[in-house]
Structure 1
């Protein structure tokens, strides 16, 4: 995989801590948007990597803007850059086995009175060319019993999908210093499929009882045997549903 860090904000040590294999990751920190997109196109054309991540579209600054003075107006430059680059990149991706992941940020349109004022930077080209678009938002914080925040609850919604039916949603936990919580995801699925009984704030799995979701997640994290048992039962249940 390759990671094009246009924001110049990647911390390799933190990435390693949350499960990224840094030894197999190519990292580039380009100076301009043109350089970043040329690197992405070259990697896709060469078929050298399976995944190229561009982080982020908002940080892809055109060369002319970098060479200009602070305060100069550059209307539509980034949108034109993205439109031109994606015409080339789409062709290279179609002929290779490389998947390109663009990370973007939400902005607000000025003066919108009706409808949704939110938009994404970089113009409309990325929305048009993308096969799948996922809207990821923080919905709440995860706290311990003493009130300490240990992570965020996140909701992901597929807003465009050329590969499968769109508008599916999923929720999961992102924990600080750990990344996506495996225990939290297994717990949520087990509750959804009634493998774990939930009555009010209490949860029960066989002889194990938990007071609250966070208590259940911590117990699963501290008891790998229990987690493996729950995952095995859940896996068998899901396979039985697929065979029906």
Structure 2
């Protein structure tokens, strides 16, 4: 501070001089020209059409929100993100905050989550959620934290009061505290070179009596909306196949819309089908994306016929037929993730930022 006061007494003070003082007092991470981060790493979901639209997945080191009506694949998307995070960053811890007390470890394992390495928290009231999430964001080995869901948060005061007592802003108050606590925790983590990812899951509610405009609102108010780098709105639909099962849906058809994004994305809307019942060689949590992957590789010149029309050359490797590549794409998770990420990286590199929407086209 003494150096700053001395600097300010000079006849002329440049912004560069002042920035240098702040960097010396508070560390170089306090600020820089242009910022050090151009495009953050992503946490993929393994659902390629969704990852493609998101520009690779959920941004690491930032906050994202998934919301929609019941049974719209919100929790499944978050669990897929955890599964891929465990695969790509095995040394980092993953936390699932089960506010709704609905976590099913058997289903999570089917989606690829290693539940033995997953920390599952089941707090009794909202204040516990805020304190525990803030605490984990300050740990050195935290990778991803998922809160399911903001709409289920209940403050201690509401739990202690009679059901007859009206509680004003019962959800918004703890959610506001959550945002205020996690924002500086994420900022501090970034300064220390860590990139913990925070994902909020939320539901939808409806304004009463709305005739014009969008009647949908998210419980907890707008605070998470402003904090989030990505807002993902999902719509789910069950798909039946009587050849496989007459009682259980085999697919979840999901349409998504990006309501807000503060990072490069490749599409503001799209759809995908996630397998919910193993069939035709597909496992639960996978997405039938072979045609999409092969078409992009062909467009990039990485999917061609071999010499004299025999076999195929895909990404520089020779295959006698297409079936071995297709099988490897789904069974070898690291290989499949690598191929899909190559496509996304190529599109991001060759595209240009749109001035209006901030998307890659």
TM class, shorter-length: 0.7 to 0.9
The offset of 1:41, in angstroms, is 0.5
Separation in 2, partners of 1:237, 1:132? 22
Indicate the structure (1 or 2) with the bigger Cα radius of gyration.
2
Correspondence list, 1:19-30, <5 A: 19-30=112-123
Separation in 1, partners of 2:329, 2:276? 26
Structure 2 counterpart SS, 1:143: coil
Partner of residue 155, structure 1: 255
| Cα pair 2:266 2:348 within 8 Å, conserved | no
Is 139-148 or 152-161 further displaced after alignment?
139-148
Specify whether residues 107 and 191 from structure 1 end up closer, same or farther in structure 2 by C-alpha distance, changes over 3 A only: farther
Is 16-25 or 133-142 further displaced after alignment?
133-142
Out of 204, 210, 213, the residue aligned to residue 112 of structure 1 is 210
Aligned pair 1:171/2:271, yes or no?
yes
Is 142-151 or 106-115 further displaced after alignment?
142-151
| Cα pair 1:157 1:168 within 8 Å, conserved | yes
Partner of residue 199, structure 1: none
**Structure 2: runs of 5 or more not aligned:** 1-93, 190-194, 278-282, 300-321, 331-335, 351-361
After TM superposition, the score normalised by the length of structure 1 is 0.76
RMSD, aligned α-carbons: 3.3
Partner of residue 231, structure 2: 133
Partner of residue 181, structure 1: 286
Separation in 1, partners of 2:170, 2:266? 31
Kindly indicate which of the two structures has a greater share of residues assigned to strand. 1
Out of 52, 57, 61, the residue aligned to residue 145 of structure 2 is 52
**Structure 1: runs of 5 or more not aligned:** 196-219
| Cα pair 1:172 1:180 within 8 Å, conserved | no
The offset of 1:229, in angstroms, is 7.4
Deviation readout 1:17-57 (Å, 9 max, x if unpaired): 21001121111100001101211100002233110010100
Separation in 1, partners of 2:349, 2:196? 32
Aligned residues between the structures = 218
Specify whether residues 95 and 142 from structure 1 end up closer, same or farther in structure 2 by C-alpha distance, changes over 3 A only: farther
Separation in 2, partners of 1:229, 1:27? 31
Specify whether residues 188 and 78 from structure 1 end up closer, same or farther in structure 2 by C-alpha distance, changes over 3 A only: same
Separation in 2, partners of 1:45, 1:13? 30
